[in-house]
Structure 1
Amino acid sequence: MKISEFTSPLSINTPLLIAQVKEGVTNTGSPYLSIYFRDNSGEIEGKLWDVKERQSAIIKPGKVMNVRGDVITYRNALQLKVLECSDIEGDIDMQDFVFTGPYSTETLKKNINEYIKEIQNQDIFRIVSDIYRTYEKEIYSSAAAVRNHHEYYGGLATHIYGMLKLADMICTNYPYLNRDLLIAGVLLHDIGKVIELSSAPLTEYTLEGKLLGHISISQTIVKDSADKLQINSEEVILLRHMILSHHGEYEYGSPVLPLIIEAEALNFIDNFDAKMVMIEKELRTVADEEFTMRSFALDNRSFYKHNIK
């Protein structure tokens, strides 16, 4: 049975991926574990009460374990009261526990490469082409985030493709934007995430990700590519500026604010695509004419799911 099929009340006995484990102590001093389970259909939080030392020793993130427990409703959300987690003997198909996006890798490669081929500025084209050749495997397998949006296998490429389609429409509506710059900014703005984040089944921050961050890594990748190709033009500076400023605000991690029009557009496009995906994901968890749980990533708002067709 898949997590997306869970209802309350329900007793389950099924293999699940352990995504995260947090230790806690009740008011009476009893140890417990908060365990976040995952399969390729969704996630659910579970509680293992009065946990024994031998249980804590084997329940680790990244493992697929057979989970026995009861699905309950807690604060208007499904939660799993865990009775037992046990090791699984035999082979495990990890595709059953890894999120995937709406597009195949082949579709993403084909469509993204079409956008790269359309870049007219040769300095920009050569840099983008070089980076996409170097990191091709990672670009199409990496997630775009640990949580919140596009946090699955191929999520980075899916996010980029969604942004490319938005950039295309925006350039049509605002023809004074430099299309090559904006398209390249979309293609390169998160390229550092191939180093910042680890690969499936569990996406976590790497040491470089924690200490440097994807914005710094991304602009370094662009600088290194330009140096290798012996390109020393204003385009290189503009691409690096777009990467450094694409979060739009100092408090959101950008060391500089957008100071060219294409950088401002890139910030809006990035934020729009991420927010739409986050909201849609929240709406999938509730029935029509209900509100979602409050989401910290969405300014602590809950969204209403209307049933207008």
Structure 2
Amino acid sequence: MTKQNGIQQKLVGDTVESFMLIKSVKKGIASNGKPFLSLQLSDRTGEIDAKLWAVSPEDQESYQAGRVVFVNGDIQDFRGMRQLRIRSLRLSVSSDQVKPHDFMPSAPMAPEDMIEEVTQFIFELQNARIQRITRHLFKKHQKAFATAPAAVKNHHEYASGLLYHVVSMLRLGRELSALYPTLDTDLLYSGIILHDMAKVRELSGPLTPEYTVEGKLLGHIPLMITEIDEAAKELQIEGDEVLALQHMILTHHGKPEWGSPKPPMIREAEMLHMIDNIDARMNMLDRALETVPPGQFSERVFPLENRSFYKPDFQS
């Protein structure tokens, strides 16, 4: 058996004996009629699904999202995915000297460095109307933006994941703009910065992210379109820039079945959608293949068409 510290590095057959954070809990009834809990557990390296069988009413009350628990179990394969089979579980106590934030995965860059990088992109915007709107909204949400996840699951779903997603997209946008000089970089960069900004309202904080009420009822796309309209009115800005920015937000998912009410109909909107898709998919691929030995397949990645991916074993 391998002896790795983080849950992301654990392989099928490995033993787990460590503190972890409960990120989410779902109640279920097994085929024998007994209740069980489906848990999503995390440490700083990643997350894993786990099952706790034959739970008592006290267990259902005690094991809540945001609590730290000490887990004893082992990693199993369940339909091509790693799953933690729990043998024993207990809540942490004060003498354990652990805190929930100790087990929260985070972006590989410091938030202050990413804020500085985004600020530099905003400073370089030449269109005064676009720059003022972008700067206004970034300043408004900067504190929450610095720590927010980009999603509840799938991609960049960790502390400062939203900001890291934006920084990665801006870097990619800069390279593609050099290759395709017909792109309006002001519109593209602003669209990248603003496209997911309303996720600071759509999702709760980074510790145990879940959808807020307005996130469930409205979603980040309508929320951001409204914010751009309100910012333009507050700054007394009119013109095609406002409409173009709103179109960038409205269409960045690309297709109706992916959540976009309209398809991209501006060149920069088409590029924004592709950059967003590239960065999200590469993030999922990198994490899926991170611990896969050369010559082996990853576990299945549901949002990537439920495929497993092979890591070639090239000889030097």
TM range (shorter): over 0.9
- Root-mean-square deviation over aligned CA pairs: 1.7
- Write the letter of the residue equivalent to 2:245: L
Between 42-51 and 229-238, the greater mean CA deviation after superposition: 42-51
Q: Tell me the distance in 2 between the aligned counterparts of 1:232 and 1:84.
A: 61
Q: Tell me the distance in 1 between the aligned counterparts of 2:14 and 2:278.
A: 38
Between 253-262 and 9-18, the greater mean CA deviation after superposition: 9-18
Tell me, which stretches of 5 or more residues in structure 1 are unaligned? Answer: none
- Write the letter of the residue equivalent to 1:52: S
1:227-266 matches, cutoff 5 A? 227-266=233-272
Gap change, CA 1:184 and 1:27, over 3 Å in 2: same
What does the per-residue CA deviation read over 1:161-219, in whole Å, with 9 as the maximum and x for residues that have no partner?
Answer: 11101111111111111111111111111111110011121111111110101111111
- Write the letter of the residue equivalent to 2:230: D
1:60 aligns with 2:64: yes
- Alignment match of 2:184 (pick from 168, 172, 178): 178
Between 285-294 and 66-75, the greater mean CA deviation after superposition: 66-75
Displacement of 1:49 in angstroms is 1.8
1:117-128 matches, cutoff 5 A? 117-128=123-134
Displacement of 1:2 in angstroms is 3.2
Gap change, CA 1:299 and 1:74, over 3 Å in 2: closer
- Write the letter of the residue equivalent to 2:63: I
Displacement of 1:9 in angstroms is 4.0
1:295 aligns with 2:301: yes
Displacement of 1:278 in angstroms is 0.9
Contact 2:67 2:100 survives alignment (8 Å): no
Tell me, which stretches of 5 or more residues in structure 2 are unaligned? Answer: none
- Alignment match of 2:280 (pick from 261, 264, 274): 274
Secondary structure class of the residue paired with 2:303: helix
Q: Tell me the distance in 1 between the aligned counterparts of 2:272 and 2:117.
A: 19
Contact 2:66 2:208 survives alignment (8 Å): yes
1:40 aligns with 2:54: no
Displacement of 1:6 in angstroms is 3.6
Displacement of 1:8 in angstroms is 5.0
What does the per-residue CA deviation read over 1:21-60, in whole Å, with 9 as the maximum and x for residues that have no partner?
Answer: 2222332222222222111112222222222222122111
Q: Tell me the distance in 2 between the aligned counterparts of 1:175 and 1:7.
A: 46
Gap change, CA 1:228 and 1:62, over 3 Å in 2: same
- Write the letter of the residue equivalent to 2:133: I
Between 12-21 and 67-76, the greater mean CA deviation after superposition: 67-76
Gap change, CA 1:303 and 1:70, over 3 Å in 2: closer
- Please name the residue that 2:140 is paired with: 134
Q: Tell me the distance in 1 between the aligned counterparts of 2:11 and 2:311.
A: 19
- Please name the residue that 1:87 is paired with: 91
TM-score using structure 2 length: 0.92
Q: Tell me the distance in 2 between the aligned counterparts of 1:291 and 1:13.
A: 26
Displacement of 1:5 in angstroms is 5.0
Q: Tell me the distance in 1 between the aligned counterparts of 2:243 and 2:35.
A: 54
- Please name the residue that 1:206 is paired with: 212
- Alignment match of 1:24 (pick from 21, 25, 28): 28
Contact 1:59 1:85 survives alignment (8 Å): no
